[in-house]
Amino acid sequence: MQPGQLVGTERELIEREGVSRAVLREAVRLLEHHQIARMRRGPGGGLFVFEPSASAVTEMVAIYLARRGMRLADLAELRTGVEVAIAGLAASRIDRDGAARLHEALEREAASPDDDQADVVHDVHVAVAGAAHSRVLELIALVLIRLSRLYEIERLAPKDSKHVRAEVLRAHEAIAAAVESGDHELARHRMRRHLDALAAVMR
């Protein structure tokens, strides 16, 4: 079944499955818990198939790892390895849509005032991850980016941040250019240099 499709109304499902209302509601709770389907109440309501949501999964994994006491060094080494692999794939596979998203992300980052930059500073990384057309790697990258966001906000003092942010924007533009030109070795190299430099600043 496709996302958005109606599985059935509560009454239909009780009849079809031959269960009590209480049992059906418990089953629906499980489906809702896993974001597989959701019961909408009221007229025109019923059980609807949910769109698979990367952000819900990302959130859950990020919170679990934060709870496990993941260190900044753990995050940095994994993020570098994963995003370097992604940069190489993105350079080999980038298409018109991917390039457009990369440009939008760079524009947002360049245009945002310093105080808001934390909200958009990872957009280029998210766009590169999307351009790699490798959804498992993308999911891992999204988890690591989500975790990075927290640590960076905590550790960048306002007085260094202006300088660092200008440098970050230049690095992002260079990575995007390498990805767009299809040079996978250069894209990998620039991503590694950028993340190593970032890790050194955060330490």
Partner 1 sequence: MATTTPAARGDAPARPGVSPGSKRAAKVADRIVGDVMAMGWPVGELLGSEAELLGRYRVSRAVFREAVRLVEHKQVARTRRGPGGGLVITEPTVNAVIDAVVLYLYRVEARLDELFEARIAVEEIASELAPARLDEPDLARLRAFAEAPEAALTPDPRALHALLASVSRNPALELFVDVLNRVAMLYSAGWQSFGPAVAADAAYAHARIAEAVIAGEPGLARRRMRKHLEAEADYLRQRRSTRQLLPDSGATGSGPRRSPAASPRWWSATGCSRASSSAPSGS
Residues that bind partner 1 (CB under 8 A): 1-2, 26, 29-36, 51-57, 59-71, 74-75, 77-78, 81-82, 85-86, 89, 119, 134-137, 139-140, 143-144, 146-147, 149-151, 153-154
Write down the least CB distance from residue 175 to partner 1, Å.
Answer: 17
What distance in Å separates the CA atoms of residue 41 and residue 19, rounded to the nearest whole number? 19
Six-digit token string for 170: 């230049």
- Could you give phi then psi for residue 48, rounded to 5 degrees? -115, 145
Six-digit token string for 43: 């007229």
Write down the least CB distance from residue 125 to partner 1, Å.
Answer: 13
What distance in Å separates the CA atoms of residue 42 and residue 167, rounded to the nearest whole number? 53
- Nearer CB in complex with partner 1: 81/173: 81
- Nearer CB in complex with partner 1: 89/176: 89
Write down the least CB distance from residue 51 to partner 1, Å.
Answer: 8
Question: Residue 84's closest CA among 162, 198, 170, 201?
Answer: 198
- Nearer CB in complex with partner 1: 87/106: 87
Write down the least CB distance from residue 109 to partner 1, Å.
Answer: 15
Helix (H) or strand (E) segment spanning residue 4: none
